[in-house]
Amino acid sequence: MNAVRIVWRITRLNFRAQLEYRSEFLMMIAIGAVWQVSVIVFATVLLTRFTGMGGWDSSDVLLIPATRMLAHGLFVLFLGRVHGLGRHIQEGRIDVYLLRPMPVYRQVQLEFFPTNAIGDLTVAAGLMWGALARSDLDWTAGRIGYLIAAVLGGMLLEAALFTVVACASLRFPAADYWGRWLEELLGTFGSYPLNVLPRAVGGLLTYGLPLAFVAYFPAAVLTGHDTSVPHWLAAASPLLGLVGYLGARLLWRWSLKHYAGVNG
Amino acid sequence: MSGSIEVRDLSRTFHTTVRRPGFAGALRSLVNPQKVAKHAVSDVTFSVAPGELLALLGPNGAGKSTTIKMLTGILTPTAGEARVAGVVPYEERERNARNIGAVFGQRTQLWWDLPVRESFAILRDVYEVPKAEHAARLKEFDDLLDLSSFWDTRVRHLSLGQRVRCDLAAALLHDPQVVFLDEPTIGMDVVVKEQVREFLRHQVEERGRTVLLTTHDMTEVERLAERVVLINHGRLMLDGTLDEIRRKFGSTWQVRATLADAHTDAVPLPGIALLRQDGPRVVFGPDGPEAPTVHQALRAIIERYDVTDIAMDEADLEDVMRTAYVQAVGDA
Amino acid sequence: MAVLHAWRAARVTPLGELHAPPRITAALLRLTVQVVLVWSLWRGLYAQTGSTAGLDRDQAVTYAVMAVLALRLRELDQYAGRDTVLQHMHFGTIVYWYLRPLPPQRYYALRALGEQLYGLAWALTGYAVCLAAGVVEPPESPAVAGVFAISMLLGQWVLYYVMLVIDQLCFFTLRNGAAMLILIFAQNLLAGVYAPLWFFPDWFITLSGFLPFQATLNVPLSLYVGRIPLSEAGAELAVQAAWVVALALFTRLVWWRAARRVISQGG
């Protein structure tokens, strides 16, 4: 319980710290607005222009970006600081964290308050609302429960991927570069029904980089579309997110134990 | 004229926003920020002759770095005037840049991703140093600082001591008449520190460069500087030689005496305070501005008491500076 | 001598990359994967549709793949070199920019030029490979190729200023890398990197007509694939050139303000 209290207190302080830089805070809000408009336009435009892509109606297909964006917004809010960790490692911040009596991973997350997550979540919530309003599906308690689980699973899966990159950064600080690519890939390819891609490429985004499990498979399960993987595997996406995240945390623990410091 | 630094009535005021405490305060500051003026440097006057090494001393936040920034042309003063090698630095920044070299503590000016030698080559072309001259100077610096063992390494992989040595070389490659060093040896080991001091001494004595140095390392001051300028709270407290400083603030001597009769109660003497007594062992110290020198005190104590053993300690430079800093705070 | 320091400053980026072979391997891998992904995505999207927004499948694929290649011109691991304005402000090393007889704005411009030329080598190689593999269509005529080359040059020039403005923001408010990434995302989106601007709603296209971003990529690529006919090329090139002039004046003013900022606060 004490841990929760400390986390809450530091988060409040971090939020206040964001208010300290007046122009930057106002600017982050402005940037948030640009971001919101552009993402909504981007996500809706392609989906409405290419109706029936991969055999999905536009009302169904909207569920994919909505799930992905909501999962992403939650990731940024709660676990987003693992992204870009390489820079802090290079500055020797990890060494400071290792001295304090709090788990390093939690300290990383408490680094600063992600003002931009507010914008991300607003967009995502709007998009989800739009998707649900257009949907002809019968939204039973089971479906809603599964959707919530899928969003949380997507958040954890994204966190797991970035945690793996962060583990690599502990050894090779330049691994941050891969983190930026990962973000771009998730952003651009996470929003489509992946069956429009050739089999090999779709397989790469399923088994190589498990991007399909973030939003595509859960949306397919909800709307009853077939995918390239067995139904049970697609349905297990939220669980996979959880397992992936726990695995990534184990990897993090192992990597931290083998952390050798930077620049002597 | 060449290589001299002249500073007259230099002042610099910063305007900062004060933050109101608490959460509501932070929100209010966001809407309506409140400004206050902070006088970082006020009416500072001093000069450094060509080929002289001057140590600029003062506690943290005294205004040393602000002064150096004004002399390097990075910061414009609010009032007063400065000339470095005849140039007003903040008016002719680029002309001044050719005359000066600077190292700011642990901040490196080297290119992070490149081998050190590449950084040197970039600077050579930026400062338009002829190739032969550059090579000769690099050779000289290598002899003094042992650079060649690591100058093909990328900067990101250098240790702190190696990096600062390279930064020193980088700052001096274009043969500047005036050199500004803001805590150059901070965090270095004794061997590297000694190497850097040797290098600086060489640059002053053999190359006739003018050096303005800030440091908190009193050994460094003793080894390098004949003259020091002491500032605190942005004001000049003292401009003189180390001896003058010792004379002014160094009266923190102590005399330890063992009395022949353990039952005597020692009493203070004129200008001499009784610091403590533990049976026969007594410690005296100076008292007030009219305190005698340690030798006079010694004589007075021996005349007054029957002592079996007596010893004196004179304060070292670090004690002197402590007194100076504390006293300066009291004055301000 | 001025040529010498220009050469030195310009080659900082390529030299840094050459000293870090893993980065080159990473860039190669990333570029290849990205081209394959984009190529298959657009072919997949067009599987059900003949032609939309005035672009047929080959035009859209060519546009998208060339956008990926063009992104390579500036999309480097800029943080690795610790030479971005954001990092210099963070580490306090920006003072050294103002301590040298080389004006900061010229140093910045030379560094960017070197970076863009290095990126160009990548983009041209990628283009040659894609052309040989039939991933992108060749330009329709030598005239189209010529106009495209001019437009691309102007576009890169505009892009330089846009990136400069984002960097200049760091002098005043930005302390946050996340905000930088979002701004760069917005610039890419409005330039047509993620999807050709033609697919967007009319109000969005009108809006971006008033912004410089579409001049960086959408105009040259649209000329290349023939979505903007040669007859309209003159007007488009003029708009690009106007942006170059306007942004040049604006960024010059901001440099001046930035210097004053550094001079009044000491970096």
**What is the share, in percent, of chain B residues with pLDDT greater than 70?**
95
For C101, which of B65, B102, B126 is closest by C-beta distance? B126
Alpha carbon of residue C132 to chain centroid: 24
Chain A contact present for C186, CB below 8 A: yes
Report the neighbours of C using a cutoff of 3 or more CB pairs below 8 angstroms: A, B
Determine whether the interchain pair C178/A23 forms a contact, defined as Cβ–Cβ distance below 8 Å.
Answer: no
> For A49-72, how does the pLDDT look when each residue is reduced to its tens digit (9 = 90+)?
777 777 788 778 888 888 988 999
Largest Cα separation within chain B, whole Å, is 80
- In sequence order, the β-bridge partners of residue B8 are B81
Determine whether the interchain pair A50/C23 forms a contact, defined as Cβ–Cβ distance below 8 Å.
Answer: no
- Predicted confidence at residue B250, as pLDDT, reads 65
Residue B24, in any domain of the structure: no
Q: Are residues B184 and B290 in the same domain?
A: no
For B114, which of C15, C91, C101 is closest by C-beta distance? C15
Q: How many domains does chain B have?
A: 2
For B33, which of A12, A16, A22 is closest by C-beta distance? A22
Last residue of a domain, one of B247, B262, B293: B247
Q: Are residues B100 and B128 in the same domain?
A: yes
Q: How far apart are CA A47 and CA C113, in angstroms?
A: 38
Residue B70 pLDDT greater than 60, yes or no: yes
Mean pLDDT of B49-70: 89
Give A-chain residues touching C183 at CB under 8 angstroms: 31, 34
Residue B330 pLDDT greater than 70, yes or no: no
Q: How far apart are CA C99 and CA B180, in angstroms?
A: 11
H or E stretch including C55?
Answer: strand C55-56
> For B10-53, how does the pLDDT look when each residue is reduced to its tens digit (9 = 90+)?
999 888 777 677 777 777 777 777 778 888 899 999 999 999 99
Report the neighbours of A using a cutoff of 3 or more CB pairs below 8 angstroms: B, C
Residue B93 pLDDT greater than 70, yes or no: yes
Size of interface B-C (CB pairs under 8 A): 94
Determine whether the interchain pair A35/C48 forms a contact, defined as Cβ–Cβ distance below 8 Å.
Answer: no
Residue A258 pLDDT greater than 90, yes or no: no
Q: How far apart are CA B289 and CA B327, in angstroms?
A: 12
> For A187-224, how does the pLDDT look when each residue is reduced to its tens digit (9 = 90+)?
778 877 888 888 888 888 888 889 899 999 999 999 88
Confidence of residue B94 (pLDDT cuts 50, 70, 90): confident
Mean pLDDT of B67-74: 88
Q: Are residues B52 and B195 in the same domain?
A: yes
CB within 8 Å of A194: residues ≥ 6 apart = A54, A202, A205, A206, A211, A212, A216, A227, A228
Last residue of a domain, one of B201, B222, B247: B247
Which residue in B93, B39, B45, B98 sits closest to B69, CA to CA?
B93
Residue B181 pLDDT greater than 90, yes or no: yes
The ipTM assigned to this model is: 0.76
Measured in angstroms, the CA of A127 and the nearest CA of chain C are apart by: 17
Interface of C with B in 75-94 (CB under 8 A): 80-83, 91-93
Last residue of a domain, one of B216, B247, B278: B247
Chain A contact present for C51, CB below 8 A: no
Q: Are residues B171 and B299 in the same domain?
A: no
Task: Give the three-state DSSP class for A231.
Answer: helix
Chain A contact present for B29, CB below 8 A: yes
Give C-chain residues touching A38 at CB under 8 angstroms: 185-186, 189-190
Measured in angstroms, the CA of A22 and the nearest CA of chain B are apart by: 5
Enumerate the H helices of B62-130 as residue ranges.
64-71, 93-99, 116-126
Residue B12, in any domain of the structure: no
Confidence of residue A158 (pLDDT cuts 50, 70, 90): very high
**Angle at C116 (CA atoms; ends C113, C120), nearest 5 degrees:** 135
Q: Are residues B236 and B265 in the same domain?
A: no
Residue B284, in any domain of the structure: yes
CB of B180 closer than 8 Å to CB of B238: no
Question: Domain with B285 in it: what CATH number?
Answer: 3.30.70
Q: Are residues B60 and B140 in the same domain?
A: yes
Give C-chain residues touching B90 at CB under 8 angstroms: 263
For B30, which of A12, A19, A264 is closest by C-beta distance? A19
CB of B3 closer than 8 Å to CB of B51: yes
Confidence of residue B166 (pLDDT cuts 50, 70, 90): very high
Q: Are residues B150 and B224 in the same domain?
A: yes
Distances (CA, A) of B219 to A98, B205, B216, B243: 34, 19, 9, 15
Q: Are residues B141 and B288 in the same domain?
A: no
Q: Are residues B115 and B143 in the same domain?
A: yes
Q: Are residues B164 and B301 in the same domain?
A: no
Residue B1, in any domain of the structure: no
For C81, which of B65, B94, B112 is closest by C-beta distance? B112
Measured in angstroms, the CA of A192 and the nearest CA of chain B are apart by: 39
Residue A247 pLDDT greater than 90, yes or no: yes
Determine whether the interchain pair A45/C181 forms a contact, defined as Cβ–Cβ distance below 8 Å.
Answer: no
H or E stretch including B129?
Answer: none
Residue B266, in any domain of the structure: yes
For chain C, 267 residues long, give each residue's pLDDT as a single digit of tens: 567 778 888 888 888 888 877 778 888 888 898 899 889 888 888 877 778 888 888 999 999 999 999 888 776 666 677 788 888 887 888 888 888 888 888 889 988 888 889 999 999 999 999 999 999 999 989 999 999 999 999 999 999 998 888 888 888 875 666 667 677 777 888 888 878 888 888 888 888 888 898 899 999 999 999 999 999 999 999 999 999 999 999 999 999 888 887 776 655
- Predicted confidence at residue B332, as pLDDT, reads 44
H or E stretch including B14?
Answer: strand B5-18
Question: Domain with B117 in it: what CATH number?
Answer: 3.40.50.300
Task: Give the three-state DSSP class for B239.
Answer: strand
Q: Are residues B83 and B109 in the same domain?
A: yes
Determine whether the interchain pair A196/C44 forms a contact, defined as Cβ–Cβ distance below 8 Å.
Answer: yes
Alpha carbon of residue B189 to chain centroid: 18
Confidence of residue B252 (pLDDT cuts 50, 70, 90): low
Give B-chain residues touching C258 at CB under 8 angstroms: none
What range defines the domain where residue B277 resides? 251-314
Q: Are residues B81 and B193 in the same domain?
A: yes
Residue B26, in any domain of the structure: no
CB within 8 Å of B252: residues ≥ 6 apart = B285, B286, B315, B319, B320, B323
Determine whether the interchain pair B23/A12 forms a contact, defined as Cβ–Cβ distance below 8 Å.
Answer: yes
For C171, which residue in chain A has the nearest alpha carbon? A24
Mean pLDDT of A253-258: 87
For C101, which of B76, B98, B156 is closest by C-beta distance? B98
> For A105-157, how does the pLDDT look when each residue is reduced to its tens digit (9 = 90+)?
888 888 878 877 777 788 888 888 988 888 888 888 989 999 999 999 999 99
